[in-house]
């Protein structure tokens, strides 16, 4: 167990809908990262938050957004969902020091029908 | 942009050694990681190596880094059926995002 929790574990929804994925980092970690794992794109970095502030953006679509709250948990919001958004979404956390090891949560499996 | 490449499949017999290879392009990488993903599961950190090291050993795992050739390898000694999984090499880009390879599927037969 990495200490990173993600909810829900599975999510099934329809095209055009909006969903929110939640992540709680390890105790004491200030950084939260979101990654998407799909069969065609592999594991891709989406966005990084540190202590409530956005620090870096990767291949994140404009339909997707994230935030990190004062208690350091983070939410990833996916809207106007398309079939191609079906994937495994991982959250990872670290202390926030550059190069520090990232510990991954179990992921949320999203299926868009 | 930065890239991490891995071979896609490796098949070994139980008890043999497995060697999974990875190449990366970012010469400023400070840390390189190996993660393991079992079916239906998340990513488990196996080990990592700092860029000023050539080798790191951790029980059955040995990581070799050739910084000149930007080549990283993971050797698993005495491979067991429980080692069957997907292994990802990852590069820490600019101290923030991890850039992952496509993953190497290790199949261990008894």
Q: Report the mean per-residue pLDDT for chain B.
A: 91
> What is the 3-state secondary structure of A27-76?
CCCCEEEEEEEECCCEEEEEEEEECCEEEEECCCCCCEEEEECCCCCEEE
Determine whether the interchain pair B45/A92 forms a contact, defined as Cβ–Cβ distance below 8 Å.
no
For chain A, residues with pLDDT lower than 70 are: none
Answer positive or negative: Cα dihedral of A54, A58, A60, A62.
positive
Determine whether the interchain pair B97/A90 forms a contact, defined as Cβ–Cβ distance below 8 Å.
no
Residues A70-92: tens digit of each pLDDT: 999 999 999 999 999 999 999 99
pLDDT given at position A99? 73
pLDDT given at position B94? 65
B51 Cα to chain A: minimum distance (Å): 11
- Facing residue for B31 by CB, picked from A35, A90, A99: A99
User: Is B103 at the interface with chain A, CB within 8 A?
Assistant: yes
Residue B1: pLDDT above 70? no
User: Is A43 at the interface with chain B, CB within 8 A?
Assistant: yes
Distance linking the first and last C-alpha atoms of chain B = 41
pLDDT given at position B10? 97
User: Is A26 at the interface with chain B, CB within 8 A?
Assistant: no
Residues B24-36: tens digit of each pLDDT: 987 777 789 999 9
pLDDT given at position A27? 95
Per DSSP, the three-state class of A83 is helix
Alpha-carbon distance A41 to A44, whole Å? 7
Alpha-carbon distance B41 to B59, whole Å? 23
Of B109, B107, B78, B76, nearest to B9 by C-alpha is B107
Contacts of B42 in chain A (CB under 8 A): 2, 90, 104-107
pLDDT given at position B26? 79
pLDDT given at position A76? 98
Contacts of B99 in chain A (CB under 8 A): 45
| Residues contacting A75, CB < 8 A, separation 6+ | A20, A21, A22, A23, A66, A67, A69
| Residues contacting A98, CB < 8 A, separation 6+ | B30, B94, B95, B96
Determine whether the interchain pair A2/B98 forms a contact, defined as Cβ–Cβ distance below 8 Å.
no
Per DSSP, the three-state class of B38 is coil
Residues B81-93: tens digit of each pLDDT: 999 999 999 988 7
pLDDT given at position B33? 93
B39 confidence band (pLDDT: 50, 70, 90): confident
């Amino acid at each position: 167990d990495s200490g990173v929790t993600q909810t829900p574990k599975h999510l099934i929804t329809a095209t055009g809908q909006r969903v929110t994925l939640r992540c709680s980092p390890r105790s004491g970690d200030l950084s939260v990262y979101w990654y998407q794992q799909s069969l065609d794109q592999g594991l891709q970095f989406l966005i990084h938050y540190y202590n409530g502030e956005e620090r870096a953006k990767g291949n994140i679509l404009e339909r997707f957004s994230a935030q990190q709250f004062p208690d350091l948990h983070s939410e990833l919001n996916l809207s106007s969902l398309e079939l191609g958004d079906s994937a495994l979404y991982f959250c990872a956390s670290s202390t926030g020091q550059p190069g520090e090891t990232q510990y991954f949560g179990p992921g949320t499996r999203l299926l868009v029908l | 942009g930065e890239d991490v490449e891995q071979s896609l499949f490796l098949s070994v017999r139980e008890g043999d050694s497995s060697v999974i290879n990875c190449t990366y392009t970012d010469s400023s990488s400070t840390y390189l990681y190996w993660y393991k993903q079992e079916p239906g599961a998340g990513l488990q950190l196996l080990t990592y190596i700092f860029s000023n090291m050539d080798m790191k050993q951790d029980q059955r795992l040995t990581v070799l880094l050739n910084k000149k050739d930007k080549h990283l390898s993971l050797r698993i000694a005495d491979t067991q059926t429980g080692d069957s999984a997907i292994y990802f090499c990852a590069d820490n880009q600019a101290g923030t995002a991890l850039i992952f390879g496509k993953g190497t599927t290790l199949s261990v037969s008894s």
